[in-house]
Amino acid sequence: MNEVDVLIIGGGPAGLAAALSAREAGCSNILILEREQELGGILRQCIHPGFGLHIFKEELTGPEYAARYVKRVLESGIPYETDTMVIDITPDRVVTTVSRKDGLRQIRAKSIVLAMGCRERPRGALGIPGSRCAGIFSAGTAQRFVNLEGELPGKRIVILGSGDIGLIMARRLTFAGAKVLAAVELMPYSSGLTRNVVQCLNDYDIPLMLSHTVTEIRGKDRLEAVVISEVDGRLKPIPGTERVIECDTLLLSVGLIPENELSKAAGVELDGVTGGPVVNDRLGTNVAGIFACGNVLHVHDLVDNVSEESERAGRYAAEFALGHRDSDAERMIAVRDGAGVRGLVPQLVSLESLRNGESVNLMFRPANVYQNAFLVLESDGQPVKRFRRLILTPGEMQTIKLDASMFGNQLPQKTISVSVEM
Amino acid sequence: MFDVVVIGAGVVGCAIARQLSRLQARVVVLERCDDVASGTTKANSAIVHPGHSAKPGSLMAKYNLLGNQLYDSWCKELDVPFRRNGSMTIAFTEEEVEALRKVYDDGITNGVPGMELLNGEEALKLEPNLNPEVMGALFAPSGGIVCPYELTLGMAENAFVNGVQFRFETKVESLERNGEGWDVKTSTGEIISTRSVVNAAGVYTDYFNNMVSEQKFEIIPRIGEYWMIDKTYANAFKSTIFQVPGKMGKGVLVSPTVDGTLILGPTARNVTDREDVSTTREGLDQVLEVARRSWPGLPSRSFITTFSGLRSHLARHDFVLGEVSDAPYFFNAAGIESPGLTAAPAIAVDLALEIRDRLGLAESDDYRSGRPPVYRFRHMSLEEREEAIKRDADFGRIICRCELVTEAEIRDSIRRPLGARSVDGVKRRTRAGMGRCQSGFCLPRVMDILSEELGKPLTEITKFGGESRILSK
Ligand SMILES: Cc1cc2nc3c(=O)[nH]c(=O)nc-3n(C[C@H](O)[C@H](O)[C@H](O)COP(=O)(O)OP(=O)(O)OC[C@H]3O[C@@H](n4cnc5c(N)ncnc54)[C@H](O)[C@@H]3O)c2cc1C
Ligand SMILES: Cc1cc2nc3c(=O)[nH]c(=O)nc-3n(C[C@H](O)[C@H](O)[C@H](O)COP(=O)(O)OP(=O)(O)OC[C@H]3O[C@@H](n4cnc5c(N)ncnc54)[C@H](O)[C@@H]3O)c2cc1C
């Protein structure tokens, strides 16, 4: 059986950043495994600009952003294998892979970084009634057709959901000559970034229909129409508000789900809210030596944040492999979602890290839209700090950089939480 | 000149084709869709019923029992997954417990083996996720689960291997007398002459029967809607859970499937349009509501898809089988609603015998009972996987990540006898696209392979034939 120090599963931005930092941390025996033919992850199909503003201080396209990391990986000679899929991970860190050239292989790793990204929520999960005709795509699949295969999914398009991929695709399909009739969103607000609503819908006069949903799909062979209805405060369709929109294509941009089937097999505990592993501030899961970062941990809006998070995961994974530090032994403080906050990551923070003054980022999404609100940091149930925010929306992830000084002279003993206060 | 034209390539038509392929006969199956199992056969509960719910003395009861018994050998010969997981019918009130006793008695009359009446506690011991208010249950160990389209594919491939012809996208338009036999007119403009016709057209069987006979009947299409639940809940129930038909509605079951998912449904509502198998909000909501009665822990997430199928209901509620007295050489297999899937093999055995004797056909001397091997990477051991990739490197590339389907399996599904011609065809043969991501990942890859294998541009690839093109030109 092959042995490696740090094994990285997934060659997207998360995996690439983790590999580079593991190398910088002094690890030489690293391996990246990627099931696609090329490194780069989902960025390969995101040919729009808007990446890298934080890290590179310039606006790059997805492939350009990925290329910078790929170049560095190549230059530092980090081994990687593409067209290679991981099909199993055991709790004692034996990974099984399948590929055309090497067949079935098993690799033992001292530490593993989970960087498998996420997948899109399909129609079936929503249970939209109606016909099961052709012409219904998840937005990312449509993006792949347009950007990687040069094919057009359809000509008259309705988008359900206002996630970023859906918004980006509204603009992309308009460029490609299709007519985007509407983006239909269940909630009273968009789940995507504000800049995407402006640049991808408003600029092209594509209506965003908030508090609406698709209540029926019609068509015999190919999609012929969708019925949309307004929804009430409990998100139930209001009878009598039905409207038929004739279209040949429905794109779904209704949420991303971290891809954790492998993590489950390895015994990694998952968080019901984020859909990703429960991790500590060193991005370690409950299984010693298994770390997680990027969209497999929680769905990010910005790739810059993915890279930053993953650099830390790679470093900690390297330290674990080299036997420098094992965070299991340390005292952990539980991090809990307070009112108005969902999906805090990490779920555990070690007292040791706070004492040592290591930076810890708490990331989460607001549960609703709030204006002129405060984010309140609490320690053992007591408010210790307030941060003013002009606008909070579920579409934009929030970060609080923790440092020990925020807690005054009394570090938390049991819990840290964040809540929204109006 | 054919000996037999079979109209319809559902489970019934294909079972008959398989039985006819044991004879020295020229047989052709005509199917209007682009694949087998495209009608009711692809959308039902997939239960091999034990036979206690059919009316004693009916053809349904007879063929349910006989069909159920044939499942072990047929599925083994055809390499089709089949499991006798047992059927449990549960009761919540004194009245329902009483009704259960009647079902038990009918079962005894029908000859159902091994049934047991249980009290609530015993039922919960077998199925801990049941509603704790359960008062009694009837357990029938001979109940089973199967994949209906895989079985139908198996039967069709086997028939094909033995020389039966299949023509797809060929709709039968009319039947005309030609001497003793028939001229069959199809949508392709062709006229096919045959000594006999088998009417296995599912919800359209009344159309052909009424065309040739004065003994008319009318199919009342009755739709049933379903939800499928992700593999995460595969172990929620071991057996198939039915409720005693009662005021809360009838027949919503909760069952594991042979593919490791869970199925919930169906509803029952008469419809008029035989082409429309749309699901409805009301129907889907009703399924969940009634299913919660059996399974209070029913998760609100983890749904993977919904679908619906049409029952071929007849007012008399029994199968119509065999030669029609005023239309010689025209054989019906009509009104085949549930337990039609279970009954199909037995119906086929008897109908093929009837045809053999009527036409004076001889047994074939080189009949083979199987089909070309089917490879399922997801079921292979480590060693078998290693071996498979060595033999064919295409086993080393996973195309469907949710169901672990390899490129080799996709290519085989297109190249094998009666191979897939569309994305749904590949899906039904390999399970690619049936998992939790519902083809978000594999669709472009499957289309690339279809395009290459069929020598067609991507824009010509369909979901299920006809105008169901996936991309725009
Ligand atoms: C359509 C779209 C538009 C976006 N727009 C922007 C934007 O404008 N600006 C911005 O900053 N960010 C944007 N993002 C977000 C950004 O692209 C993601 O946050 C980032 O790509 C996540 O990186 P990742 O490495 O976690 O996941 P991914 O990029 O998804 O990479 C995961 C990799 O793991 C591989 N993998 C998974 N499972 C296995 C396995 N079992 N074996 C081997 N390999 C495996 C996958 O093939 C994939 O390459 C966008 C994302 C999308 C999808
Ligand atoms: C909701 C529901 C649940 C069920 N559950 C079960 C169960 O759990 N267990 C069980 O045993 N049974 C069950 N059944 C019954 C079972 O599914 C059916 O009895 C069986 O599938 C019928 O098969 P078939 O071949 O007769 O019909 P179909 O599968 O409908 O096949 C008929 C074929 O004929 C073709 N055709 C029609 N007209 C023409 C034409 N003019 N020219 C050419 N081809 C034509 C159609 O395209 C179709 O492919 C259920 C049925 C339903 C609807």
CA–CA gap between residue B298 and residue B306 (Å, rounded)? 16
What pLDDT, on the 0 to 100 scale, is given for residue B459? 97
Taking the model in full, what pTM does it have? 0.94
- The answer to whether residues B349 and B385 belong to one domain is no
Provide the sign of the torsion angle of the four alpha carbons B118, B124, B127, B132, taken in this order: positive
What pLDDT, on the 0 to 100 scale, is given for residue A404? 87
**Cβ(A359)–Cβ(A282) below 8 Å:** no
What burial letters (b/e) apply to B200-233, b meaning 16+ CB within 10 Å?
Answer: bbbbbbbbbbeebbeeebebbbbbbbbbbbbbbb
**Cβ(B311)–Cβ(B40) below 8 Å:** yes
Residue A49 to residues A45, A52, A65, A172, A195: CA-CA distances in angstroms? 12, 9, 9, 12, 12
Nearest to B364 by CA among B22, B27, B26, B28: B22
For residue A265, what is the DSSP state?
H
Task: Say whether the peptide bond before residue B266 is cis (omega within 30 degrees of 0).
Answer: yes
Which residues span the domain enclosing B244?
A: 84-144+220-314
CA–CA gap between residue B202 and residue B183 (Å, rounded)? 21
Provide the sign of the torsion angle of the four alpha carbons B327, B332, B334, B339, taken in this order: positive
CA–CA gap between residue B83 and residue B93 (Å, rounded)? 30
**Cβ(B441)–Cβ(B447) below 8 Å:** no
- The identity of residue B431, as a single letter, is R
Partners of B463 on chain A (C-beta within 8 Å) are 133-134, 221
Nearest CA to ligand 1 atom 1: A165
What burial letters (b/e) apply to B437-456, b meaning 16+ CB within 10 Å?
Answer: bbbbbbbbbbbbbbeebeee
Nearest to A314 by CA among A37, A10, A88, A3: A10
B251 pLDDT more than 80: no
- The answer to whether residues B337 and B268 belong to one domain is no
B246 pLDDT more than 70: no
B13 lines ligand 2 (CB under 6 A): yes
- The answer to whether residues B92 and B124 belong to one domain is yes
**Cβ(B44)–Cβ(B10) below 8 Å:** no
Which residue has tokens 């051991």? B381
- The answer to whether residues B238 and B156 belong to one domain is no
Which residues of chain A are modeled with pLDDT < 70?
Answer: 325-330
Residue B72 in domain: no
**Cβ(A213)–Cβ(A187) below 8 Å:** no
Question: Can you list the alpha helix ranges (DSSP code H) found in A11-138?
Answer: 13-24, 62-75, 123-126
Probe residue for ligand 1, chosen from A16, A36, A42, A159 as the CB with the greatest number of ligand atoms within 8 Å: A42
Tokens coding A394: 């579920």
CATH number at B403 reads: 1.10.10.1100
Tokens coding A3: 């042995």
Residue B231 in domain: yes
Q: How far apart are the first and last CA of chain A?
A: 57
| Mean pLDDT across chain B | 96
Residue B406 in domain: yes
Query: With an 8 Å Cβ cutoff, are A131 and B278 in contact?
Result: yes
Tokens coding B71: 């499942």
Give residue B456's Cα distance to chain centre.
30
Task: Tell me the backbone φ, ψ of residue A412, rounded to 5 degrees.
Answer: -60, 145
For residue A175, what is the DSSP state?
H
CA–CA gap between residue A43 and residue B433 (Å, rounded)? 23
- The answer to whether residues B402 and B421 belong to one domain is yes
Q: What's the 3-state SS for chain B? A: CEEEEEECCCHHHHHHHHHHCCECCCEEEECCCCCCCCCHHHCCCCEECCCCCCCCCCHHHHHHHHHHHHHHHHHHHHCCCEECCCEEEEECCHHHHHHHHHHHHHHHHHCCCCCEEEEHHHHHHHCCCCCCCCCEEEEECCCEEECHHHHHHHHHHHHHHCCCEEECCCCEEEEEEECCEEEEEECCCCEEEEEEEEECCHHHHHHHHHHHCCCCCCCEEEEEEEEEECHHHCCCCCCEEEECCECCECCCEEEECCCCCEEEECCCEECCCCCCCCCCHHHHHHHHHHHHHHCCCCCCCCEEEEEEEEEEECCCCCCEEEEECCEEEEEEEECCCCCHHHHHHHHHHHHHHHHHHHHCCCECCCCCCCCCCCCCHHHCCHHHHHHHHHHCHHHHCEEECCCCEEHHHHHHHHHCCCCCCCHHHHHHHHCCCCCCCCCCCCHHHHHHHHHHHHCCCHHHCECCCCCCECCEC
What pLDDT, on the 0 to 100 scale, is given for residue A356? 87
Residue B76 in domain: no
CA–CA gap between residue B347 and residue B339 (Å, rounded)? 11
CA–CA gap between residue B44 and residue B337 (Å, rounded)? 10
B32 lines ligand 2 (CB under 6 A): yes
**Cβ(B407)–Cβ(B399) below 8 Å:** yes
Query: With an 8 Å Cβ cutoff, are B382 and A220 in contact?
Result: no
Task: Tell me the backbone φ, ψ of residue B358, rounded to 5 degrees.
Answer: -65, -40
Residue B95 in domain: yes
CA–CA gap between residue A344 and residue A337 (Å, rounded)? 6
* Residue to substitute from A81, A84, A100, interface B, most B β-carbons within 10 A: A100
Please state the atom number of ligand 1 nearest to the C-alpha of residue A48: 8
B224 lines ligand 2 (CB under 6 A): yes
**Cβ(B421)–Cβ(B465) below 8 Å:** yes
- The answer to whether residues B198 and B275 belong to one domain is no
Partners of B393 on chain A (C-beta within 8 Å) are 100-101, 103
Partners of B303 on chain A (C-beta within 8 Å) are 124-125, 127
To which H or E segment does residue A361 belong? strand A360-366
Residue B394 in domain: yes
For residue A396, what is the DSSP state?
S
Q: Is B365 on the interface with A (CB under 8 A)?
A: no
CA dihedral A96, A99, A102, A107 (to 10 degrees): -20
CA–CA gap between residue B117 and residue B100 (Å, rounded)? 8
What burial letters (b/e) apply to A5-40, b meaning 16+ CB within 10 Å?
Answer: bbbbbbbbbbbbbbbbbbbebebebbbbbbbbeebb
Around A268, how many Cα atoms within 13 Å sit in the side-chain half-sphere?
Answer: 33
Q: How far apart are the first and last CA of chain B?
A: 41
- The answer to whether residues B332 and B234 belong to one domain is no
Partners of B394 on chain A (C-beta within 8 Å) are 100
Give residue B378's Cα distance to chain centre.
22
Sheet holding B144-146, edge to edge: B47-48, B144-146, B82-83
Is B49 a residue of the active site?
Answer: yes
- The answer to whether residues B400 and B264 belong to one domain is no
Q: How far is the CA of A298 from the centre of ligand 2 (A)?
A: 44
Tokens coding A103: 């067949």
B30 lines ligand 2 (CB under 6 A): yes
Residue A192 to residues A169, A174, A213: CA-CA distances in angstroms? 12, 18, 16
B250 pLDDT more than 80: no
Domains of chain A: 2-119+257-329 (3.50.50.60), 122-254 (3.50.50.60), 336-421 (2.60.40)
Which residue has tokens 């020598």? B455
**Of B359, B393, B418, which marks where a domain is finished?**
B359
- The answer to whether residues B301 and B240 belong to one domain is yes
- The answer to whether residues B278 and B340 belong to one domain is no
Count of domains in chain B? 3
- The answer to whether residues B259 and B119 belong to one domain is yes
Please state the atom number of ligand 2 nearest to the C-alpha of residue B222: 53
* Residue to substitute from A218, A221, A260, A273, interface B, most B β-carbons within 10 A: A221
For residue A201, what is the DSSP state?
I
Of A103, A134, A145, the CB nearest to B444: A145
B202 lines ligand 2 (CB under 6 A): yes
Burial of A301 per CB tally in 10 Å (0-12, 13-18, 19+): middle
CA–CA gap between residue B22 and residue B13 (Å, rounded)? 15
Residue B47 in domain: no
- The answer to whether residues B348 and B390 belong to one domain is no
CATH number at B322 reads: 3.50.50.60
Q: Is B467 on the interface with A (CB under 8 A)?
A: yes
CATH number at B299 reads: 3.30.9.10
Query: With an 8 Å Cβ cutoff, are B278 and A248 in contact?
Result: no
For residue A330, what is the DSSP state?
S
Residue B210 in domain: yes
